[in-house]
Amino acid sequence: MSRLLTGPAARIHAVDRGDGDPVVLVHGWSMSHEPWAATVDDLVAAGHRVIAVDLRGHGRSDAPDDDGGYALDDLAGDVLALLRARDVPPATVVGWSLGGMVSVRLAALAPDRVDRIVLVASNGVAHARSAAFPFGMEPDVTIDAVESAERADRVAGRRAVLAGGFGDRPDPDALERLLRVSLGTDPRAEAGCLRTLLRTHQVDLLPDGLPVTQILGDRDRTVSRRGGDWVVSQIPGAVQVALPCGHYPMIEAPDAFHAALRRAVHHELHPDGRTD
């Protein structure tokens, strides 16, 4: 099932399939529900209700009329409105990249709606460095580089950004599919969410008492592995899984990723490496 829901400032699109314990999938910057397609199929087959959200300005969701409205509170607020409107019980929230930060903010806004968090290619608190989080990219340098490249040639600039996320030489067809999705994002959402991704820090919102699993690619050049390690060390009981891929584990290593995600959703991963 696929539908639009009126949220706080936009109509939000989501794919809603299956029955059973709910799993919410939140995509990354300039993406949509589309890269989750195989993940949705896998989790539905495993007996879950799966809700794959298009954040505002992405995919089939509406964009606010101006270039504001893309802070984490706005993005997480839309997801929360959707969960309330559909009366979704406490869910496992899976956030990829920017979606990981949205997931952490959602848990802070509405802890009664989040049963556990799975961070995919994300540490959930920051994508760039700051005084409180000395890991990752230099935010202003990175924003300037991305925007300058896209002003010169939007398609070539975006293709380069996406290609840089792969752990190895990207499969041309996979890269072009991601590029098509990315270029379909509203330019206001691209700009606003890029700034949110690189200028927001929420170390103070590290989950306390909430089960957290982090699935990282060990060849991901866009997310600091040291930052990921640090975040996991700060959350009691948190589990980290490293896969042989880059920033797109659902595309680069789908079998290993889906196996790890199922184990995380089914509470079968443990900090000491045991599996049930």
CA 230 to mean position of chain CA atoms? 19
Integer Cα distance of 17 and 52 in angstroms:
9
- Looking at the DSSP bridge assignments, the partners of residue 269 are 275
Domains of the chain (ranges, CATH numbers): 2-265 (3.40.50.1820)
Integer Cα distance of 239 and 256 in angstroms:
16
The pLDDT value given to residue 270: 63
The pLDDT value given to residue 227: 96
Question: Which residue type does 144 have?
Answer: D
What the block records as the tokens of 13 is 């699109």
CA 89 to mean position of chain CA atoms? 20
pTM, full prediction:
0.94
**Which residue carries 């903010």 as its tokens?**
105
The pLDDT value given to residue 10: 64
- Which parts of the chain register pLDDT below 70? 1-10, 66-67, 270-276
The pLDDT value given to residue 271: 65
CA 7 to mean position of chain CA atoms? 19
The pLDDT value given to residue 2: 47
With a pLDDT cut of 70, the percent of the chain lying above it is 93
User: Among candidates 53, 39, 47, 38, which has minimal Cα distance to 18?
Assistant: 47
- Number of other residues whose CB lies within 10 A of the CB of residue 124: 27
Q: Find the length of the chain.
A: 276
- Number of other residues whose CB lies within 10 A of the CB of residue 89: 11
What the block records as the tokens of 224 is 């600091």
